[in-house]
Amino acid sequence: MIQLRELHKSYLVQGNNIPALMGINLSIKKGEIYGIIGHSGAGKSTLIRCMNLLERPTTGEVMIDGVDLTKLDDRKLQEQRRHIGMIFQHFNLLSSATVGENIAFPLKLAKRPKAEIKKKVDELLKLVGLEDHRDKYPAQLSGGQKQRVGIARALANDPKVLLCDEATSALDPQTTNSILALLLDINRKLGLTIVLITHEMQVIRQICDRVGVIDGGLIVEAGDVVEVFLKPKHPTTQEFVEQVADSHELREAVAYEKASGNRTIARVTFLGEQTYKPILFQTMQETGTVFSILQGTISRMKDTPYGQLVVELEGSAEQNSQTIEKLRQRGLEVEVI
């Protein structure tokens, strides 16, 4: 659906070329929610704006549904952009227009008939839950309501792709959750391909299928969210995972327990239906191993339940090794810390 090939973007600053993106290669499947996560200045906003050529790449290809946008003239590019919706961090609504008028704006630009515009606006107001706010102005809306208007406006031309540029970073946590739930609902109802950039791992974990981690203008790690989240390889990815893993408290607990004697501390990961089965307890009973839980969580990544427990095994070295091997044989991921 979306393919970026050897994408480079540089800016001329005081006579010097400053690279923002360096050889980005990405493939995003039709109908998936793809997250791009990175720190401020990593290049993520530049990357997403290159996808609809709001920023024109210095070199490289931007293929959307088999069409290379970089090869199009202005008129054809404008036509292709109608198939690419975009929502922004700060909403970018017309302050002097009502909610209904904001949603209708791209349809008027496309010179659609009035009856068609009214019908489409009605449909979109219902989709985003703003039927009672049609005649209000942006100043009368909350941040979450403004973003819902932005989403409805981005969907007006029935796009194939929706680009989300930090769409939730100006919102409080509760409102963020409602907007993410709306995007997930839209993805499922419309089969829309969504590309979402953020600096929050919780956002990625909640609705994305796959993720790319960007650092210094490079994609440093990419893959299924479950795989990347549970087995982060690059230091930048590990930093983001720590946002939702209480790792500081864990490091203190591990340091304390290690200082107390020769004990084995392991992180046990459950995935899917394993999460709700007493595999750990049954294994410890079989091997006669005494254990204590230092840290634990059960959560979901989009539709996939998972759990992680950090446990201290208090048996002999041989007994602990046997226990770990049995856990692995039963399909659990076990990492000795």
Secondary structure of residue 237 in the 3-state scheme = helix
Neighbours of 254 (CB within 10 A): 18
**Quick one: CATH architecture of 247-336?**
2-Layer Sandwich (3.30)
What is the distance between the alpha carbons of residues 91 and 148, in angstroms, rounded to a whole number? Answer: 9
Question: What integer pLDDT is reported at residue 188 of this predicted model?
Answer: 93
Question: What integer pLDDT is reported at residue 297 of this predicted model?
Answer: 82
pLDDT per residue as tens, the chain (337 positions):
899 999 999 998 988 889 999 999 999 999 999 999 999 999 999 999 999 999 999 999 999 999 999 999 999 998 899 899 999 888 889 999 999 999 999 999 989 999 999 999 999 999 999 999 999 999 999 999 999 999 999 999 999 999 999 888 888 989 999 999 999 999 999 999 999 999 988 899 999 999 999 999 999 999 999 889 888 999 999 989 887 765 555 566 556 655 555 578 898 999 888 888 899 989 998 888 888 888 888 888 888 888 888 899 988 888 889 999 999 999 898 888 7
**Quick one: CATH architecture of 2-242?**
3-Layer(aba) Sandwich (3.40)
Q: What mean pLDDT value characterizes the chain?
A: 90
What is the distance between the alpha carbons of residues 140 and 109, in angstroms, rounded to a whole number? Answer: 25
Beta bridge partners of 22: 8
Q: What would the pLDDT profile of 203-261 be if each residue is shown by its tens digit?
A: 999 999 999 999 999 999 999 998 898 889 999 999 898 877 655 555 665 566 555 55
Enumerate residues 6+ apart whose C-beta is below 8 A from 225. 35, 204, 205, 208, 209, 210, 211, 301, 302
DSSP letters for 186-220: HHHHH--EEEEEES-HHHHHHH-SEEEEEETTEEE
Between the two ends of the chain, the Cα-to-Cα distance in Å is: 40
Full-model pTM? 0.84
Q: How many residues appear in the chain?
A: 337
Neighbours of 223 (CB within 10 A): 15
What is the distance between the alpha carbons of residues 130 and 136, in angstroms, rounded to a whole number? Answer: 10
Are residues 57 and 70 in contact, defined by beta-carbon separation less than 8 angstroms? Answer: yes
Secondary structure of residue 135 in the 3-state scheme = coil
What is the distance between the alpha carbons of residues 263 and 267, in angstroms, rounded to a whole number? Answer: 14
Domain edges within the chain:
2-242, 247-336
